[in-house]
Amino acid sequence: MSAPLLEAEGLVRRYAMRRGLFGRGVEIAAVDGVSLRIEAGRTLGLVGESGCGKSTTGRLVLGLERPDAGSVRFEGRPMPPPGTAEWRRLRARMQMVFQDPLGALDRRLPIGEQIREPLDIHGLLDPAARQARVFDLLHAVGLREDHAARYPHELSGGQRQRAVLARALATGPSLLVADEPISALDVSIQAQVMNLLADIQARFGIAMLFISHDLRAVRQLSHRIAVMYLGRIVEEGEPDAVLHDPAHPYARALVSAIPHPGRAVRRILLPGDPPNPADRPPGCAFHPRCPAAVARCRAESPALKPRADGRLVACHVAQGEAEAPIRQAA
Q: Which residues bind ligand SF4 (CB under 6 A)?
A: 248-249, 284, 286-287, 290, 292-294, 297, 302, 315-317
Query: Based on CB atoms, which residue is closest to ligand SF4, 73 or 298?
Result: 298
Give the CA distances from residue 149 to residues 111, 131, 163, in Å, rounded to whole numbers and listed in that order.
Answer: 6, 12, 12
Minimum Å gap between C-beta 42 and ligand SF4 is: 27
Cα–Cα distance list, 152 to 146, 147, 200, 242 (Å)? 13, 10, 22, 39
Residue 141 or 292 with smaller CB distance to ligand SF4: 292
Beta carbons of 218 and 238 less than 8 angstroms apart: no
Cβ nearer to ligand SF4, comparing 155 with 230: 230
| Dihedral sign, Cα of residue 118, residue 205, residue 184, residue 273 | negative
Would you say 121 and 167 are in contact if contact means Cβ atoms under 8 Å apart? no
CB hemisphere CA count around 200 (13 angstroms): 31
Task: Report, in Å, the least distance between residue 249 CB and ligand SF4.
Answer: 5
CB-hemisphere CA count at 13 Å for 4?
Answer: 19
CB distance 325 to 297 below 8 Å: no
Q: Which is nearer to ligand SF4, 243 or 297 (CB)?
A: 297
Of the pair 207, 270, the CB lying nearest ligand SF4 is at 270
Instruction: Give least dist CB 49 to ligand SF4, A.
Output: 15
Nearer to ligand SF4, 72 or 315 (CB): 315
> Rounded to the nearest whole angstrom, what is the least distance from the CB of residue 51 to ligand SF4 in the complex?
18
**Distance in Å, CB of 224 to ligand SF4, minimum:** 20
Q: How far is the CB of 288 from ligand SF4 (least distance, A)?
A: 8
**Chain-centre distance of CA 259, in angstroms?**
22
Q: How far is the CB of 294 from ligand SF4 (least distance, A)?
A: 6
Q: Which is nearer to ligand SF4, 231 or 302 (CB)?
A: 302
d(CA 246, CA 244): 6
Q: How many CA atoms lie within 13 A of 280 on its CB side?
A: 20
Provide the β-strand partners of residue 225. Answer: 45, 237
Closer residue to ligand SF4 (CB): 160 or 248: 248
Q: How far is the CB of 322 from ligand SF4 (least distance, A)?
A: 7
Rounded to 10 degrees, the C-alpha dihedral 143/145/149/152 comes to 10
d(CA 218, CA 197): 12
Name the H helices within 141-213: 157-169, 187-204
Q: Are 193 and 202 in contact (CB under 8 A)?
A: no
